């Protein structure tokens, strides 16, 4: 398998979009990414599209997008890994290039969640827990699933709603510095604690929003990447794992086993020691669909010991200058969470960080030239952990 | 426990139909201006309604158990792996000979939440509590917790696993009843 690199990235503004349909939205991200790469649509030999899609009118988004973007020489596929569909798209495109099947591939993530009413979107998300045994009779929602984690975590480790609020405050702070973010307003701990319960003990400001958005990365084989740019960002390793469909079949509710497995797989291939992972990484993008999810990620990724993730947040160790800066783009929490676009947007942000071109105030110190993305699908159903490197 | 009242998704769809008919009457097209951005939005003239059909033949003993007021799980006859939700094939050893056993009446509440923002199918319900409990047979179960008093609940308390009829539909479902100890 050959080395592969990202040679161009593009993003649409995240938020509620009423001015572009799905192909127009995708075009914004693809155009920016191809421009950066110095390539044209005809150079693209494969397109993978991450889109969950239940809420949007177009049933085959990969096809309409491929045509609209003029990818005449590319085969395509839509991939689904719930909220990690974007990372599944990166995985698929990277493997197409690494295997030699394509020299240049595009991974695109796109979602138009605002095409359906909010309550229907809440239902479509809730149904993807485990349909019959969790949703049909009991009406669990996505915030509800993560609230079940929060209750157990609080009970085992003595953390509180106030500790979770630290994560929301940080991610909104960095969102305020990111022109692509859905929320660009700073919030205080009091704002979080005063916000209404969505699924006790999680409140509105503990939750990522419903978002429209698109993100694209151009992935190229080593010799193509080197001919295009002096600063490619290499995909050093990819860890992928799955968890049980039923939440009730997990060992406990304070961790995501799939995250742990995917992290260990990615770390091993990249030569990173699990217990000291934070020392190897300059910056991390972790899956903060809810504040509790970011806390669990600190532990599952080896940044903090079991039960001490919330202390990392409390001590503000995940801001720039701390032990390990996390979600400097505002995370899913403030940047927004257009389900299938999120994983690709993480790849976009990692490239910006490693190339030192994030906006002022949200750029990490790049010392090792190594960064991580962690993207979870569902309630821990899918986990994708990738390590990226500038050398 | 889904509400027997008018389906909320259908209601939302009918509201949109009305809106688009008004637009058609005015301009000849089902295009309206978005309330916030004023951008023109075309409203789909068709409505997609789906009720899925699920085969349950292989786990029918579970539903027959509910009719007797019992919650049943399965155990693999070859390797002993236990399954709740019940399944007819063993994921561990690939044996398909399973035996059914009753989950005990009392378990321990491991975690819980109250759903405040509800999905369309549950939008007519009061806020409801859902939890996960563990039983001595080694299985964990997700179910509704019959209380609206969150303060009365705590992780580690005992709950009774009971089969009840839903108030509105009469559908048999299993729930947790908190036990005062």
* Domain assignments of chain B as residue spans, ordered by start: 54-102, 105-181
Using CA atoms, how far apart are residues B126 and B147, in angstroms rounded to an integer? 11
Instruction: List CB contacts (< 8 A) between B122 and chain A.
Output: 139
Q: Is B10 on the interface with A (CB under 8 A)?
A: no
For residue A1, is pLDDT > 70? Answer: no
Active-site residue, A287 included: no
| Distance between A254 CA and the closest CA of chain B, angstroms | 10
Q: Which residues of B touch A161 (CB under 8 A)?
A: none
Q: What percent of chain A has pLDDT over 70?
A: 100
At B7 the pLDDT is 85
The CATH architecture to which A4-116+215-228 belongs is 3-Layer(aba) Sandwich (3.40)
The pLDDT of residue B142: 98
Give residue B3's pLDDT.
Answer: 46
Query: Structural domain boundaries of chain A?
Result: 4-116+215-228
Cα distances (Å, whole numbers) of residue A128 to A133, A142, A152, A249, A358 = 11, 9, 21, 16, 34
Beta carbons of B113 and A249 less than 8 Å apart? no
Helices (H), chain A: 22-37, 61-68, 85-98, 118-126, 142-157, 161-175, 189-194, 222-228, 257-270, 277-280, 291-300, 309-314, 331-335, 339-354
Determine whether A83 is an active site residue: yes
Q: Which residues contact B9 (CB under 8 A, 6 or more apart)?
A: A117, A119, A120, A123, B120, B121
Q: How close B84 gets to chain A, by Cα (Å)?
A: 8
- Residue A357, helix vs strand vs coil: coil
Query: Which fold would CATH assign to domain B105-181?
Result: OB fold (Dihydrolipoamide Acetyltransferase, E2P) (2.40.50)
Q: What is the pLDDT of residue B1?
A: 47
CB atoms within 10 A of CB A178: 24
Least confident of A49-58, A232-241, A361-370, B6-15: B6-15
Query: Does the pLDDT at position A250 exceed 50?
Result: yes
pLDDT tens-digit readout, A138-183: 999 999 999 999 999 999 999 999 999 999 999 999 999 999 999 9
A205 is written with which tokens?
Answer: 């400001």
Identity of the residue in B115, B117, B173 whose CB atom sits nearest the CB atom of A137 = B173
In chain A, which residue's Cα lies nearest the Cα of B1? A137
Per annotation, catalytic residue among A287, A337, A374, A381: A337
Q: Which residues of chain B have pLDDT under 50?
A: 1-4
pTM, 2 dp? 0.97
Helices (H), B46-166: 60-67
DSSP state of B4: S
Chain B 118-147, CB below 8 Å of chain A: which residues?
Answer: 118-123, 125, 128, 130-132, 139-144
Q: How far is B180 from chain A (nearest CA, A)?
A: 19
End-to-end Cα distance, chain A = 18
Q: What pLDDT does residue A2 have?
A: 80
Average pLDDT on A348-370 reads 98
Site of tokens 């399944």: B87
- Specify the residue for token string 């990819």: A238
Dist. CA A172–CA A185, nearest whole Å = 6
Q: Which residue of A has its CA nearest to B15?
A: A117
């Amino acid at each position: 398998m050959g080395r592969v690199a990202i040679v161009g990235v593009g993003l649409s503004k995240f938020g509620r979009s009423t001015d572009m349909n799905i192909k127009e939205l995708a075009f914004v991200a693809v155009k920016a990414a191809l421009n950066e790469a110095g390539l044209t649509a005809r150079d693209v030999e494969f397109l993978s599209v991450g889109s969950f899609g239940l809420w949007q009118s177009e049933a085959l988004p990969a096809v309409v997008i491929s045509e609209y973007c003029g990818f005449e020489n590319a085969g395509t596929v839509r991939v689904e890994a719930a909220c990690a569909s974007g990372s599944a798209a990166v995985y698929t495109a990277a493997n197409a290039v690494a295997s030699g099947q394509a020299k240049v591939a595009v991974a695109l993530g796109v979602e138009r969640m605002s095409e359906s009413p909010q309550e229907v979107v809440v239902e479509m998300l809730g149904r993807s827990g485990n349909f019959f045994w969790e949703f049909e009779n009991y009406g669990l929602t996505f915030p509800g699933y993560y609230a079940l984690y929060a209750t157990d975590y609080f009970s085992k480790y003595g953390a509180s709603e106030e500790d979770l609020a630290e994560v929301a405050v940080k991610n909104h702070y960095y969102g305020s510095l990111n022109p692509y973010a859905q929320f660009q307003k700073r919030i205080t701990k009091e704002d979080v604690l005063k916000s209404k319960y969505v699924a006790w003990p999680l409140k509105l400001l503990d939750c990522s929003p419903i978002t429209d958005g698109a993100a694209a990365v151009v992935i190229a084989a080593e010799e193509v990447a080197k001919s295009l740019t002096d600063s490619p960002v290499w995909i050093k390793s990819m860890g992928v794992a799955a968890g049980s469909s039923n939440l009730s079949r997990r060992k406990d509710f304070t961790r995501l086993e799939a995250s742990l497995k995917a992290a260990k797989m990615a770390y091993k291939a990249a030569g990173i020691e699990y217990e000291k992972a934070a020392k190897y990484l300059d910056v991390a993008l972790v899956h903060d669909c809810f504040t509790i999810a970011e806390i669990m990620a600190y532990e599952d990724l080896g940044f903090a010991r079991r039960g001490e993730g919330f202390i990392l947040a409390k001590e503000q160790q995940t801001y720039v200058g701390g032990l390990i800066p996390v979600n400097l783009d505002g995370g899913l929490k403030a940047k927004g969470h257009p389900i299938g676009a999120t994983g690709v947007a993480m790849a976009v942000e990692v490239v910006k960080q490693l190339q030192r071109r994030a906006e002022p105030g949200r750029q990490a110190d790049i010392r090792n030239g190594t960064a991580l993305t962690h993207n979870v699908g569902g309630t821990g159903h899918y986990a994708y952990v990738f390590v990226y490197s500038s050398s | 426990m889904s509400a027997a009242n008018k389906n909320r998704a259908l209601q939302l769809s009918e509201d949109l139909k009305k809106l688009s008919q008004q637009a058609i009457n005015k301009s000849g097209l089902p295009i309206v201006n978005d309330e916030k951005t004023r951008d023109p939005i075309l409203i789909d003239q068709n409505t997609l309604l789906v009720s899925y059909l699920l085969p349950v033949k292989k786990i029918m003993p579970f539903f027959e158990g509910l009719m007797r007021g019992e919650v049943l799980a399965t155990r693999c006859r070859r390797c002993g792996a236990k399954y709740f939700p019940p399944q007819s094939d063993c994921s561990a050893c690939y044996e398909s000979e399973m035996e059914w056993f009753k989950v005990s009446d009392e378990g321990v509440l491991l975690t819980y939440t109250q759903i405040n923002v509800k999905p369309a199918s549950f939008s007519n319900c009061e806020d409801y509590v859902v939890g996960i409990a563990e039983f001595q047979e080694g299985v964990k179960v997700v179910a509704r917790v019959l209380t609206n008093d969150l303060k009365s609940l705590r992780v580690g308390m005992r709950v009774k696993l009971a089969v009840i009829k839903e108030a509105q539909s009469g559908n048999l479902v299993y729930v947790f009843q908190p036990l005062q100890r």
